[in-house]
């Protein structure tokens, strides 16, 4: 990415509790958190903008860049509040959504239930047609069957139609003709075609993605329309850009057409922000940890780029489009501690949320949480960590932990609080192992970027347990997702399945596909204001050993010579070895899917540190007793805003900021870099 000091850039991330607005002007960062408005998220965005304008004297007319991370599509999926949608499928395939896959979430759970189909059975229709596996017509499209479907749709009051026909990824003609015929029948509806949404093999995943996109289109179209109107009414000239799940941003019009690409919008922005901050410090391989009030999102960045997968689940649904590989668990500051039937201490996944919240919030909460345990152990200042309208009730916290945890388990309140943190940390450590060790990566070779309101409280302990050498806590840890929106490139992903033995495919066969993708990418990026000199192209093939049911995405060199295809095969063997611990170079390989990623480089702001030279002792607020591993220790407490660049803090210590608190364990030390990031040296 190129660097620039654009005068006014705004990133807005909408979360479940707060809407974060980050403004960067000439390298200076301003942060504004406002309450989210779940019933109408655009109102929370506008409120944040207005408050920012008042606080920094921002002129809307000078805003050059506006990027937005949204949970609208995610919430619609989780709450199943999408538009009434119909599905048109090949005759005999209307029940693909119902049948799904043979795989079970738990092989020993005989009571497991499948997710509710996106489209109800009486809204799933069949048309007569058939293509073979290479896209050749076996049964021509019966246009009369399509018109019959149109008549039935007219009576159902639907808003959107998903069209997913067999092998349409090899030949989209039938799908396009079905859309034409339905439109000619007078049905003014929203349409989603599988050959455009996810032109890849596996009927369930392809049909699910198409149906989900169709169901979300009216929802996202309404939201983006309202937000764009509000932005235009305030005279903001910058075009609205939306964060995608794949770690790139797109124009608002494209997001309206492909809402399925925004399902992990917020978490993806956080991972991008973490990658950027780590890169500024010269660290390219990091684990990321975003811990808020309800959940903890973990991911992995390799070579400065977030790991992207097509095997991510959102709610109950496996969504096959490229997404930053984020693993989420129910571990947050509000996660409730409880004792199970076997008298074992458990933490989460149930959360106290924002209301009533942890007991210490004084909002009638009665169940102890992770935040309450942090307070009892001295990591949080009861007089400083809450907002002005909340007053920490330490006595109520101690009473809740004693009655619900300590007394039933026959231990002291302090030991119970330490136990709550230990269990919560164990849950998060397992999650970090899922995205690292279980995927062939050694945590000892990575840093850990901790963000979110609660992440920096736990990161040093987790890093010590995983033997991660360094923890990085960004200056804007509490709003890193919003900052990530300002440093993210525009990204468009293209794919099509071509299941062929690799020995039957030459560069001449693949080049036309890549050229078609490249031309479409150039057109899209040109429409979004990106010139040809700022476009980067990445080519890849999904490869597998013949007979396997899974594949590995493998980069392809730019010039598709015979040697380049052989090089891709060699890389596949290496990646298979890395991922699964073995490879079979003598086994035949199949090409499954051809992929191209087009990246439009945006100008990213240069960030400056908040504090210059000075004495770190001047940043000391107080000292207090803090418990580490069950033992009380005297620890200095620092004001993060007053810590100068290059200052060093020896543990045990607490660094308090406006958005998060950093815990530095005994025998650890931390330094502040030129960008305001706190780097904790964990040691081994």
Do the Cβ atoms of 315 and 115 come closer than 8 Å? yes
Distance between CA atoms of residues 203 and 90, nearest Å: 11
Distance between CA atoms of residues 168 and 156, nearest Å: 26
> Which segment of 27-31, 123-127, 444-448, 528-532 scores lowest on mean pLDDT?
27-31
User: What's the average model confidence in pLDDT over 56-76?
Assistant: 90
- pLDDT tens profile 119-144: 999 999 999 999 999 999 999 999 99
pLDDT band at 609 (very low <50, low <70, confident <90, very high): low
End-to-end CA distance of the chain: 34
Please name the helix (run of DSSP H) or strand (run of DSSP E) that holds residue 408, with its range, or none.
Answer: helix 407-409
Distance between CA atoms of residues 156 and 144, nearest Å: 19
Closest CA to 553 of 205, 195, 283, 309: 309
The residue that leads in pLDDT, 354 or 190, is 190
pLDDT band at 2 (very low <50, low <70, confident <90, very high): very low
> Which segment of 187-191, 384-388, 631-635 scores lowest on mean pLDDT?
384-388
Is the pLDDT confidence value at 79 over 90?
no
Do the Cβ atoms of 315 and 301 come closer than 8 Å? no
User: What's the average model confidence in pLDDT over 417-434?
Assistant: 96
Is the pLDDT confidence value at 400 over 70?
yes
Do the Cβ atoms of 570 and 481 come closer than 8 Å? no
- pLDDT tens profile 554-571: 999 877 777 888 889 999
Is the pLDDT confidence value at 350 over 50?
yes
The pLDDT assigned to 4 comes to: 40
Backbone angles phi, psi at 671, to 5 degrees: -130, 160
The pLDDT assigned to 470 comes to: 97
Distance between CA atoms of residues 263 and 252, nearest Å: 15
User: What's the average model confidence in pLDDT over 541-552?
Assistant: 93
Locate 146 and state its tokens.
């399509």
Task: Please provide the average confidence, as pLDDT, over all residues in the chain.
Answer: 91
- pLDDT tens profile 183-194: 999 999 999 999
DSSP for residue 369: B
- pLDDT tens profile 208-249: 999 999 999 999 999 999 999 999 999 999 999 999 999 999
Do the Cβ atoms of 329 and 91 come closer than 8 Å? no
Kindly write down the DSSP assignment for every residue of 459-484, as one continuous string.
Answer: HHHHHHHHT-SEEEE-TTGGGHHHHH
Sequence-ordered strand ranges (E) for 150-277: 160-164, 190-193, 240-243, 249-251
Domains of the chain: 79-221 (no CATH), 490-601 (3.30.1490)
pLDDT band at 5 (very low <50, low <70, confident <90, very high): very low
User: What's the average model confidence in pLDDT over 588-602?
Assistant: 95
Q: Across the chain, which distance is largest between two alpha carbons, in Å? A: 82
Is the pLDDT confidence value at 6 over 50?
no
Backbone angles phi, psi at 408, to 5 degrees: -60, -30
Beta bridge partners of 637: 622, 654
Distance between CA atoms of residues 236 and 50, nearest Å: 12
Cα atoms in the Cβ-side hemisphere of radius 13 Å centred on 681: 11
User: What's the average model confidence in pLDDT over 175-202?
Assistant: 96
Q: 151: helix, coil or strand?
A: helix
Distance between CA atoms of residues 117 and 552, nearest Å: 28
The pLDDT assigned to 1 comes to: 41
């Amino acid at each position: 990415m190129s660097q620039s000091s654009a005068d006014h850039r705004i990133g807005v991330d909408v979360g479940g509790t707060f809407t974060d607005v980050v403004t960067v002007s000439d390298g200076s960062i301003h942060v504004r958190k406002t309450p989210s408005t779940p019933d109408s998220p655009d109102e929370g965005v506008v409120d944040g903008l207005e408050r920012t304008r008042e606080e920094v004297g921002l002129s809307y007319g000078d805003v050059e860049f506006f990027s937005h991370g949204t949970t609208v599509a995610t919430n619609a999926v989780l709450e199943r509040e999408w538009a009434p949608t119909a599905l048109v499928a090949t005759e005999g395939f209307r029940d693909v959504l119902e049948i799904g896959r043979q795989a079970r979430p738990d092989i020993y759970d005989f009571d497991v239930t499948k997710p509710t189909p996106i489209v109800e059975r009486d809204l799933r229709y069949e048309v007569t047609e058939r293509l073979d596996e290479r896209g050749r017509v076996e049964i021509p499209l019966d246009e009369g069957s399509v018109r019959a479907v149109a008549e039935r749709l007219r009576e159902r009051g639907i808003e959107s139609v998903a069209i997913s026909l067999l092998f349409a990824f090899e030949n989209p003609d039938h799908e396009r003709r079905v859309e034409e015929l339905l439109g000619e029948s007078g049905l003014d509806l929203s349409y989603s075609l599988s050959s455009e949404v996810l032109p890849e093999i596996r009927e369930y995943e392809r049909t699910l993605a198409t149906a989900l996109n169709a169901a979300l289109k009216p929802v996202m179209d309404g939201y983006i329309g309202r937000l764009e109107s509000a932005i235009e009414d305030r005279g903001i000239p910058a075009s609205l850009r939306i964060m995608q799940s794949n770690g790139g941003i797109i124009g608002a019009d494209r997001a309206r057409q492909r809402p399925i690409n925004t399902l992990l919008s917020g978490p993806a922005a956080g991972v991008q922000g973490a990658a950027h901050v780590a890169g500024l410090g010269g660290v390219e391989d990091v684990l990321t940890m975003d811990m808020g009030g309800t959940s903890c999102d973990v991911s992995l960045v390799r070579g400065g780029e977030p790991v992207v997968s097509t095997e991510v689940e959102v709610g109950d649904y496996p969504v096959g489009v490229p997404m930053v590989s984020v693993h989420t668990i129910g571990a947050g500051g509000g996660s409730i501690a409880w004792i199970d039937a076997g008298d074992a201490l458990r933490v989460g996944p149930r959360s106290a949320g924002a209301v009533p919240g942890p007991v210490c919030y004084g909002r009638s909460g009665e169940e102890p949480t992770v935040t309450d345990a942090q307070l009892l152990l001295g990591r949080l200042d009861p007089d400083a960590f809450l907002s002005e309208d909340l007053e920490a009730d330490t006595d109520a916290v101690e009473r809740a932990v004693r009655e619900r945890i300590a007394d039933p388990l026959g231990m002291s309140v302090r030991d119970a609080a330490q136990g709550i943190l230990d269990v919560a940390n164990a849950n998060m450590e397992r999650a970090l192992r899922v995205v690292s060790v279980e995927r062939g990566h050694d945590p000892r070779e990575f840093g850990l970027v901790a963000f979110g309101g609660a992440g920096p409280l736990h990161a040093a302990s987790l890093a010590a347990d995983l033997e991660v050498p360094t923890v990085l806590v960004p200056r804007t840890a509490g709003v890193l997702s919003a900052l990530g929106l300002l440093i993210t490139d525009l990204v468009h992903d293209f794919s099509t399945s071509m299941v062929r033995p690799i020995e039957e495919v030459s560069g001449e066969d693949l080049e036309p596909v890549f050229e078609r993708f490249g031309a479409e990418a150039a057109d899209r990026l040109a429409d979004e204001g990106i010139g040809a000199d700022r476009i980067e192209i990445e080519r890849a093939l999904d490869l597998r050993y013949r007979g396997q049911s899974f594949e590995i995405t493998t980069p392809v060199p730019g010039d598709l010579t015979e040697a380049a295809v052989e090089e891709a095969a060699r890389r596949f063997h290496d990646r298979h070895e890395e991922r699964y611990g073995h490879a079979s170079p003598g086994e035949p390989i199949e090409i499954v899917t051809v992929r191209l990623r087009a990246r439009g480089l945006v100008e990213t702001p240069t960030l400056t540190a908040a504090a210059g030279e000075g004495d770190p002792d001047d940043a000391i607020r107080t000292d207090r007793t803090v418990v580490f591993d069950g033992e009380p220790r005297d620890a200095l407490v620092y004001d993060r805003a007053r810590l100068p660049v290059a200052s060093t803090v020896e543990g045990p210590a607490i660094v308090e900021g406006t958005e998060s608190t950093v815990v530095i364990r005994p025998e650890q030390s931390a330094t502040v870099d030129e960008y305001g990031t706190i780097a904790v040296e964990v040691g081994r």
